Amino acid sequence: MHDSAAQPRILVADDDADIRDLVEFKLTQAGYDVRAVADGVSAWAAFEEEPPELVVLDVMMPGMSGIDVLRRIRESGSASVPVLLLSAKSRDSDVDTGFEVGADDYVIKPFSPRELLHRVSGMLARAR
């Protein structure tokens, strides 16, 4: 059982600095302990170093995509960590790929920060 005083740790990865800052700000404001990184390689390194309670991944990132990171998370020792994908692409194939690899939820850009917050808190509630 998690210590209720401890803030859930959330890892956010997006190569768009504006979106990354917005998500980090909104989640921090809501009381989460956020670690934000700019690409998939950093996201995987941060995940391995300290597995978070939840991960928010941009699908399209240089080097290692959000789907690649998601695949590694699902193959890791922390396979059950909830993952939310962010994508500018609403093509069904991207959504399908995300869910096939093991995404728990999916938000299309542009998104409302409030909606993202609702999705994140819902996912964390289900994971507990």
The pLDDT tens digits for 97-128 are: 999 999 999 999 999 999 999 999 999 999 98
Distance of CA 89 to the CA centre of its chain: 16
Using left for φ > 0, alpha for ψ between -120 and 50, and beta otherwise, residue 31 falls in left
CA neighbor of 57 nearest in space, from 90, 93, 32, 86: 86
Condensed to tens digits (0 to 9), the pLDDT of residues 10-28 reads 999 999 999 999 999 999 9
DSSP string, 98-126: HHHHT-SEEEESS--HHHHHHHHHHHHHH
CB atoms within 10 A of CB 39: 19
Condensed to tens digits (0 to 9), the pLDDT of residues 46-100 reads 999 999 999 999 999 989 999 999 999 999 999 999 999 998 866 677 778 999 9
pLDDT at 2: 46
pLDDT at 6: 83
Query: 9-127 has which CATH code?
Result: 3.40.50.2300
Using left for φ > 0, alpha for ψ between -120 and 50, and beta otherwise, residue 14 falls in beta
pTM of the predicted protein model: 0.93
CA neighbor of 56 nearest in space, from 17, 94, 115, 106: 106
Domain locations along the chain: 9-127
User: Which segments within the chain are labelled E, that is strand?
Assistant: 9-13, 33-37, 54-58, 83-87, 105-108
Condensed to tens digits (0 to 9), the pLDDT of residues 37-51 reads 999 999 999 999 999
